[in-house]
């Protein structure tokens, strides 16, 4: 469920690194929870279509912020079957996205897709005869024989929220990680403790689910209330994930985003279903000058960096073009895309270009905007076939920029 791109598989086989542990952990537990005996299973669905949870990812002593992860669930259908569509968007490391379609009744996975800047796109289809996995960057995919109680590791932890609240309850399962096609992984999960913990909703009575995968042990703290929010995830010796926002209906998520520092704040408007998070620096501190945007569908990425205005816009533009030519394989500027920006108090210039990355044809968008005493640099990347899906939304974000400087 909570996903660290490229996190899960390695984490299952060996200790997971601090920047990626959560995904494996969350997903893993989730999958475990997916199988419970009918006589002990709780007839409970604590979520409604449109729910969203947002987590902050911390290092193991909770002194350094690594990034954010958002989980959402929607009722849907696939091939005329009612499903739950579970999505995660991750601002950590290279931004990543995953989607799992699960049968609405059995919660067994039907289809999953995983996208990240570093790994491309990976699809998995779950059938009676096995799990078929395809990778956009490879000529051939792979097929796994499906064992009983095999579940997709990403986001399947939603079912843990349906567990009967009783100490010692446990279930063994198999999991498959479609972000790194490999063997199905045996795992076991157990409810190990019930106690009050401090949460964004005050002190809450929670049950702890401990997932054991090889030498990796992860704990999930789930509230004993009508929502069964996942409040906390602990990967022993690696890191912690803490719930910082919970929306029973994601339409309540604010569409205005603010960043910056006191006395020098800027604001942006987000298109529907876009998310934005301030990006921590290498020490885990947020200075407010870096923002990561997560588009719906995970079809690309957009980042913003703010800098003191030191040189002219023309100098920055020329420097950007030269850098792209030197650092992006076969970069080609699209001359007809060069656009001057004049909206309200802001002025700037934007352009698009193409380049190659891991056999993919990519489109890059760059906007340089002057506002107040700062220069704002927007940079977006997407596979060329998907760029048009996000181009209009990027324009809305750039044009909405407002700064409030004293």
Query: What digits encode the pLDDT tens for the residues 36-73?
Result: 343 344 568 899 999 999 999 999 999 999 999 899 99
Do 146 and 223 share a structural domain? yes
Do 130 and 70 share a structural domain? yes
Domain count, the chain: 2
Each residue's pLDDT tens digit, 82-112: 999 999 998 876 668 889 999 998 888 888 8
Rounded to whole angstroms, how far apart are CA atoms 27 and 107?
A: 14
Each residue's pLDDT tens digit, 168-220: 998 887 776 656 645 677 888 899 999 999 999 999 999 999 988 767 788 99
Do 289 and 275 share a structural domain? yes
**Would you call 335 helix, strand, or coil by DSSP?**
helix
Whether 280 maps to a domain, the answer reads yes
Confidence at residue 212, expressed as pLDDT on a 0 to 100 scale: 80
Higher pLDDT: 146 or 82? It is 82
Higher pLDDT: 208 or 4? It is 208
Q: How many CB atoms lie within 10 A of CB 210?
A: 19
Selection from 141-155, 162-176, 223-237 with the highest mean pLDDT: 223-237
Q: pLDDT grade, residue 269 (50/70/90)?
A: very high
Confidence at residue 8, expressed as pLDDT on a 0 to 100 scale: 29
- Percent of the chain predicted with pLDDT > 70: 80
Q: Break the chain down into helix, strand, coil percent, rounded to 5.
A: 15, 50, 35
Do 361 and 260 share a structural domain? yes
Over 70: is that where the pLDDT of 228 sits? yes
Do 99 and 25 share a structural domain? yes
Whether 176 maps to a domain, the answer reads yes
For residue 374, give every residue at least 6 positions away whose Cβ sits within 8 Å of its Cβ, in sequence order, or none. 264, 266, 306, 307, 308, 309, 403, 405
Can you give the CATH number for the domain in which 330 is found?
A: 3.40.1000.10
Q: Provide the pairing of β-strand 332-333 with 301-308.
A: unpaired
Rounded to whole angstroms, how far apart are CA atoms 227 and 196?
A: 16
Do 222 and 290 share a structural domain? no
Q: Are 22 and 31 in contact (CB under 8 A)?
A: no
Q: Are 83 and 104 in contact (CB under 8 A)?
A: yes
**Would you call 123 helix, strand, or coil by DSSP?**
strand
Whether 183 maps to a domain, the answer reads yes
What is the overall mean pLDDT for the chain? 82
Confidence at residue 360, expressed as pLDDT on a 0 to 100 scale: 81
Whether 95 maps to a domain, the answer reads yes
Confidence at residue 115, expressed as pLDDT on a 0 to 100 scale: 83
Over 80: is that where the pLDDT of 10 sits? no
Whether 2 maps to a domain, the answer reads no
Considering only CA atoms, which of 145, 126, 166 is closest in space to residue 37? 166
Boundary (domain end) residue, out of 191, 221, 251: 251
Q: Are 177 and 9 in contact (CB under 8 A)?
A: yes
Q: How many CB atoms lie within 10 A of CB 388?
A: 10
| Sequence-distant contacts of 183-190: CB under 8 A, at least 24 apart | 183/144, 184/144, 184/146, 184/147, 184/150, 185/12, 185/13, 185/153, 185/213, 187/12, 187/28, 187/31, 187/32, 187/211, 187/212, 187/213, 188/32, 188/212, 189/29, 189/32, 189/33, 189/160
Boundary (domain end) residue, out of 234, 251, 268: 251
Rounded to whole angstroms, how far apart are CA atoms 150 and 334?
A: 47
Q: How many CB atoms lie within 10 A of CB 110?
A: 18
Helices (H), 8-155: 8-13, 21-33
Each residue's pLDDT tens digit, 371-394: 989 999 999 999 898 899 999 999
Do 305 and 378 share a structural domain? yes
Whether 161 maps to a domain, the answer reads yes
Do 219 and 171 share a structural domain? yes
Each residue's pLDDT tens digit, 240-267: 999 999 999 988 888 999 999 888 999 9
Higher pLDDT: 357 or 337? It is 337
Do 379 and 364 share a structural domain? yes
Domain around 379 = 254-405
Do 280 and 237 share a structural domain? no
Q: pLDDT grade, residue 120 (50/70/90)?
A: confident
Rounded to whole angstroms, how far apart are CA atoms 316 and 41?
A: 60
Strand partners, 383: 362
Higher pLDDT: 5 or 319? It is 319
Whether 69 maps to a domain, the answer reads yes
Over 60: is that where the pLDDT of 23 sits? no
Do 127 and 225 share a structural domain? yes
Whether 1 maps to a domain, the answer reads no
Selection from 13-22, 190-199, 245-254, 341-350 with the highest mean pLDDT: 190-199
Q: Are 148 and 130 in contact (CB under 8 A)?
A: no
For residue 327, give every residue at least 6 positions away whose Cβ sits within 8 Å of its Cβ, in sequence order, or none. none
Give the residue-averaged pLDDT of 288-315: 92
Do 218 and 343 share a structural domain? no
Q: What is the pTM of this model?
A: 0.83
Boundary (domain end) residue, out of 221, 251, 281: 251
Picking from 25-29, 107-111, 279-283, which range would have the lowest pLDDT averaged per residue? Answer: 25-29
Q: pLDDT grade, residue 135 (50/70/90)?
A: confident
């Amino acid at each position: 469920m909570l996903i660290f791109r490229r996190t899960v598989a390695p984490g299952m086989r060996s200790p997971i690194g601090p920047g990626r542990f959560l995904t494996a952990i969350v997903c893993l537990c989730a999958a475990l929870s997916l199988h419970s005996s009918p006589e002990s299973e709780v007839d409970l669905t604590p979520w409604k279509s449109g729910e969203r949870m947002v987590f902050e990812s911390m290092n193991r002593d909770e002194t350094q912020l690594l990034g954010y992860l958002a989980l959402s669930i929607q009722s849907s259908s696939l091939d005329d079957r009612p499903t739950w569509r579970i999505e995660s968007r991750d601002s950590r490391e290279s931004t990543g996205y995953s989607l799992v379609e699960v049968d609405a009744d059995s919660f067994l996975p039907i289809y999953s897709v995983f996208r990240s800047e570093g790994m491309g796109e990976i699809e998995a289809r779950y059938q009676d005869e096995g799990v078929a996995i395809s990778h956009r960057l490879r000529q051939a995919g792979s097929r796994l024989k499906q064992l009983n109680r095999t579940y997709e590791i990403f986001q399947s932890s939603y079912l843990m929220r349906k567990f009967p609240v009783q100490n010692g309850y446990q279930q063994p399962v198999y999991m498959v990680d479609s972000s790194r096609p490999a063997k199905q992984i045996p795992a076991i999960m157990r409810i190990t403790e019930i106690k009050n913990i401090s949460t964004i909703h005050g002190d809450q009575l929670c049950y702890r689910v401990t997932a054991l995968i090889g030498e990796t042990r992860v704990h999930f703290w789930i509230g004993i209330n009508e929502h069964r929010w996942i409040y906390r995830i602990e990967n022993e010796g690696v890191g912690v994930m803490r719930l910082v926002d919970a929306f029973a209906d994601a339409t309540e998520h604010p569409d205005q985003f603010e960043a910056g520092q006191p006395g020098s704040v800027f604001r942006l408007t987000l298109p529907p279903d876009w998310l934005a998070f301030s990006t921590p620096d290498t020490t885990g501190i947020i200075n407010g000058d870096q923002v990561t945007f997560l588009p719906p569908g995970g079809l690309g990425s957009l980042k913003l960096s703010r800098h003191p205005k030191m040189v002219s816009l023309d100098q920055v533009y020329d420097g950007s073009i030269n850098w792209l030519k030197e650092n992006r394989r076969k970069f080609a500027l699209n001359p007809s895309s060069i656009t001057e920006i004049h909206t309200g108090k802001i002025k700037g210039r934007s352009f698009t270009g193409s380049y190659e990355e891991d056999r993919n044809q990519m489109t890059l968008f760059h906007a340089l905007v002057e506002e107040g005493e700062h220069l704002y640099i927007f940079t977006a990347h997407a596979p060329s076939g998907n760029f048009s899906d996000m181009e209009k939304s990027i324009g809305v974000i750039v044009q909405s920029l407002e700064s409030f400087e004293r």
